[in-house]
Structure 1
Amino acid sequence: MLRFPALAAAAQELVITTYGGVWEAFWRKSLVPAFETSTGAKTKLDIGFGRTFTSTLRAAGKDQPPYSMVMMNEVFASLLRKEGYFEKFDLSLVPHYKDLYPIAQTGDGWAAVGMISPLGLGYRTDLVQTPPKSWKDLWTNPEFQGRIGLYNIVNSAGKAMVMLTGKLFGSGPHDLDKAYEKLGELAPVLQTDFNMSTLMSTGEIVVAPYDFGEIARLKHQGLPVDCIVPEEGLLMWDQTFSICANAPARELAYKYIDFILSPETQLMLAREFFVSPVNRTVEVPEDLRADVPVYGEQMSRILAWDWDWVNANATEMTERWNRTFQ
């Protein structure tokens, strides 16, 4: 049974944001009960996703936020942070912050990444004779031509792929001209907003940027797949936790974020979702390492991007993506 330090019960109710499906099921069954037991807190869940949480915050305004904290991808969090919806962390209320890997310490103390899903190159081991080693293999391995999957530009992984391509072949991650020139060379590609597994399962694609956790689930289902850490580094999906300005249950929100960052909760999340623990003190157990291969020193292989720049250039990125892939 997990045990956390006893904390005083809070008078205010904390609204906890999470996503639907398996996320909501785990939050209701395991994570929220553990938090309430450790704090005596009263909580309720608000189910949505980054865009809906963003719309709700903007509709309510900065002075009366409906949430005390929110969990969302950094591409959304960075936009709201710039608009003044979040406060900079009081680090005295987040003692586990100091234990985070640098990639999880967002914006010099403005937020914390509580969950990281690293993305490498996943491929079908039965349909590929020469496994990939590098992102550049997407362009050079003839086995991949016409059988590549990409997350589209709506997904943050699509935006990261654009910046990665500029970094690999151009003057840097903001070199959109070179990025789209090179991405055009990959066409035709099969795109998805979220679910790459259907395309990989049917063999319509044989290689794609892939979440190591999803590869682990496909392996458990018996699909012949694997995922590598490319030579140039990893992409990631992040879940950033921020404190709202004028938060109605501010102290309890800080306790929740620190609970998320604790070694015990990080191990819970790793076992449930095969995410990489963001807390450096967590040692991934041997029985979990095949499913969670990115930990320890490998966390330094995750590439960081300027999401403020992405949001400022999102319209151009989307238009050029659509022109490139029709």
Structure 2
Amino acid sequence: MTCIHARAAASRLIGAAITLGLGAGAAHAADLVVAAYGGIWEQAFRQCYVSEFEKKTGKKVEVVLGTPTQWANQIAASSGKPPIDVVVNTIDGAYDAMKRGIVDKFDASKLPHLAEIDPKFTDIAKGYGSIVNYGGMGLAYNTKTVKNPPATWKDFVEGVKKGTYRAAIPHISYVSTQLTTLWMLNNLYGGTVDNIQPGLDVIKAMKDSGNLVFWKDPNEFLNLIKSGEIDIGMYWDGRAWSFADDGNPEISYYNPKPGSVINPTLVQKAKGSLDLAWDFIDIVLSPGPQACFGNIIQYGMSNTKVIYSPKVAPRITKMDEIVWPPFEAVPSRLGDWVERWNKQIGG
């Protein structure tokens, strides 16, 4: 067994709990191990990135599924011989990996397409990765019941309190709520990262009106709006458009002013991983594969040369519609925010 094949086999033993649907033959044939998310994300990832890499290099990729915490722990425990070469990470997962020193700094000389990435999407990783794609948390609504959707977030809040419509927002237990919902509303109503009370007050007022419910899973929101239990609510742009395309043409989406908080996905190279990882990362950063991925997922992509299909292009959350939260300042405060939400707002 070659060194590369041994690493691939070991990666599956270490990560057996997170690897889904991969037989022994796949591991023994793998030249590179990449961690990614499941579902339609995995399907698009394989179609747009993995297939392009394998076609271009003749090498085989093993895709392992799981969570950023699982991947980080595996890399950290590997004594400089990581079982994973490339990680597709959340923003908090990326910062955790940087803090723990388990990812390599990007080498621009090995990533020709890095120069095509909007600087805002690379600066955020401080040289240790790059945003690949992002989803915006705006408003999805039923066009049959909401004839005049609120133009601003404050209009949305007032509409909920007055009973103009029934609405839903993500619960604090959902992975991105602290930033996309609580921080966003708190910032809008004059709060800071050290004073989250204005945001809590706004959410509590909407809840107390009796016109607001919380969703804890993305599919729960779709069930709520499909059944007519709600008319409008905070949701992801790409997911909303995919739902509309899937036989629900009455559903639409937009970003109220002053804009929507994004939840970015980053790509990083595990510290000490194979040099072949640079080739894979460069493909992930290149315009063709990114366009393929963006047109399937309907999320914004980071390469400035990406060309979306005529249907998808107007649906993408634009740069001037993005609200950038203080990603790095928030993680240390999340425990306090969750505790205060649970005490003041509950479920």
Normalised TM-score (structure 1): 0.86
- Which residue of 1 is the match for residue 255 of structure 2? 229
AA in 2 matched with 1:47: L
195, 199, 215: which one aligns with 1:191: 215
Contact kept in structure 1, 2:94 and 2:125, CA below 8 Å: no
Deviations 1:200-244 (A, max 9, x none): 211222222222222222222124111112111122222111112
- Aligned with 1:118: secondary structure? strand
Identity of aligned residues (%): 23
C-alpha spacing 1:206/1:56, structure 2 compared with 1 (3 Å): farther
TM-score in terms of structure 2 length = 0.81
Distance 1:124-1:31 versus aligned 2 partners, 3 A rule: same
State the SS of the aligned residue for 1:215: helix
TM-superposed CA distance for 1:30, in Å, is: 5.0
Task: Identify if the C-alpha distance between structure 1 residues 112 and 62 changes in structure 2 by more than 3 Å, giving closer, same or farther.
Answer: farther
Which structure 1 residue ranges, 4+ long, deviate > 6 Å from structure 2?
none
Q: Aligned to 2:229, which of 204, 207, 212?
A: 204
How many Å separate the matches in 2 of 1:38 and 1:144? 55
The aligned counterpart of 2:283 is 259
Q: Post-superposition shift, 1:118?
A: 2.1
Q: Map 1:1-326 onto structure 2 (within 5 A).
A: 13-58=31-76, 60-61=77-78, 63-105=80-122, 106-141=124-159, 142-143=162-163, 147-187=167-207, 188-195=212-219, 196-220=221-245, 221-247=247-273, 249=274, 251-290=275-314, 292-294=315-317, 298-326=318-346
- Contact 1:152–1:191 (8 Å) recurs in 2: no
What is the letter of the counterpart of residue 317 of structure 1?
W
Question: CA 1:31 to 1:90, structure 2 compared with 1: closer, same or farther past 3 Å?
Answer: closer
1:131 Cα deviation from its structure 2 partner? 0.6
List runs of 5+ in structure 1 lacking aligned partners.
1-10
Name the CA shift for 1:151/1:98 in 2 (closer, same or farther; >3 Å): farther
2:136 alignment partner, SS class: strand
How far residue 277 of structure 1 moved from its aligned partner, in angstroms, is 2.4
Q: Secondary structure at the match of 2:150?
A: coil
Report the RMSD for the aligned CA atoms in angstroms. Answer: 2.3
Distance 2:298 2:148 in 1: 27
CA contact (8 A) 1:157 1:237 kept: no
The secondary structure found in structure 1 opposite 2:140 is: strand
Quick check: 253-262 or 26-35, which moved more?
26-35
1:264 to partner: Cα distance: 0.5
Assess if the C-alpha contact under 8 Å between 1:79 and 1:311 holds in 2: no
Separation (CA, whole Å) in 1 of partners of 2:241 and 2:144: 16
CA displacement, residues 12-59 of structure 1 (integer Å, 9 cap, x when unaligned): 82101112222233344553222111122232111113333234334x
CA distance in 2: counterparts of 1:93 and 1:86, whole angstroms: 16
The 2-side partners of 1:119 and 1:181 are apart by: 20
Tell me how far apart the structure 2 counterparts of residues 140 and 62 of structure 1 sit (CA, whole Å): 54
| AA matched with 2:276 | L
Matches of 2:120 and 2:140, distance apart in 1:
22
* Structure 2 unaligned spans of 5+: 1-28
Q: CA deviation at 1:145?
A: 5.9
